Structure 1
């Protein structure tokens, strides 16, 4: 990496082998549900195209106790900055939230999710496109999984500040195809978080591409442990 690498906290890198691109979606859902058992957490999921982003948002939004926000190149710079700020605020609030304060709130979750989806379905961005700004404050306050889905182009807004410091996990839903893309993704990881993990999803036909990613890294990329608690400590 560049001269900033000495300031970055160590990042533990793992990979998950999946049989097909379709299985990546269900594997991601399983991962998020498993992590919810440890308490609130922040996760960024990076993909390479808008189509992949749309599929991810569609799959992740209905998951209980999950708040989803997204960044993509069709949003203006101001809209992306605002989205990233809202995500960071929601995540910070969730990490400060006491577990007992969530008791009694589960009955309201499904209705809040429905209202959020209904409101988002009718929204449009400044370019007249459907605005995928999923995530409502009332839902986010009760969420355990705070997920930021972004394309590589959408992440440009974070180049000057990095991702939120409390973000502890990045999922590379699509493998970076070039070294500069890999370095940019890793360099955007918040510099103040003491615990950082990144997971690469690797399909059966991407072994060669994954070997190339391994050559980009200065450290090892290990297979993801079966038990999430082995690497991701409880936040409760």
Structure 2
């Protein structure tokens, strides 16, 4: 089990894990497989943070192509008003109970998604628990994809977002960036402990120095994502 960061250092109430990948191509495939498994073992909405716009575009394309998630993308091309509207809509979709779909509508949607969804290629490891299909009538899990620049500019009155799962596609380059990610998405220490917040970092081969820096931010050991992904919520 991953170390839960204590009050004396790092972000209280946050459990940290990492998924090791060999290169950028495998990173996207592993991300997709991980997220597909997460949406089976936990229906909680989650966020993906990237350091750069180009990386964000690749992540968004991969998720949209899978047709498995309700993706909200917030990037630098949006105006301030558009970002605020996108964030408001994400919060509404993520935390409000949706109305039941008309008879047959969910089945048609599920069939369409199954027919058009490609299989992941190039993933370097498999995750148990993600083989089941999304149940009929279930809404796709809401995903917020955002860059650090836009995260910093989000309207304060809509924060924190109160999410419980964060995937750091790019490792935080500084403690300031790391702290902003945690506080903006999860909230304060009491909020984080009550939600059992989880962070998963995607770590490429050759990123040992950046990974060691991350461990200094969290003031504890970062464990590898278990094969049974649901164990990260225990």
TM-score (norm 2): 0.74
| Aligned 8 A contact 2:169 2:202 in 1 | yes
Aligned pair 1:162/2:163, yes or no? no
Distance, in Å, in 2 between the alignment partners of 1:41 and 1:103 is 25
Which stretch has the larger CA shift, 187-196 or 9-18? 187-196
Q: 1:218 to 1:9 in 2, by over 3 A?
A: closer
Gaps of 5+ in 2: 1-6, 114-136
Q: 1:30 maps to what in 2?
A: 33
Alpha-carbon separation, structure 2, partners of 1:5 and 1:63: 41
Corresponding residue SS for 1:176 = coil
The question of 1:184 aligning with 2:180 is answered yes
Change (3 A) 1:188 1:81: same
TM-score of the superposed pair, with normalisation by structure 1: 0.74
* 2:192 matches 1:200: no
Give the paired residue count: 198
Deviation at 1:77, TM superposition (A): 1.5
Between the aligned partners of 1:61 and 1:110, the Cα distance in structure 2 is 16
**1:1-236 to 2 correspondence within 5 Å?**
10-93=13-96, 96=97, 104=104, 105-109=106-110, 142-158=138-154, 160=156, 161-165=158-162, 167-191=163-187, 192=191, 194-232=195-233
Unaligned runs of at least 5 residues, structure 1: 113-140
- Alignment partners' CA distance in 2, 1:23 and 1:232: 25
**For the residues of structure 1 that align with 2:177 and 2:196, how far apart are their CA atoms?**
22
Change (3 A) 1:103 1:59: farther
User: Structure 1: how far apart are the matches of 2:46 and 2:22?
Assistant: 23
Deviations 1:185-234 (CA, angstroms, capped at 9, x unpaired): 1121222352210011110011111111111222331111110111236x
Q: Distance in 2 between matches of 1:217 and 1:36?
A: 25
Shift in CA distance, 102/22, structure 1 to aligned 2, threshold 3 Å:
farther
Alignment RMSD (CA, Å): 2.9
Q: Deviations over 1:81-113 (max 9, x none)?
A: 1111111110113xx359x8698403135769x
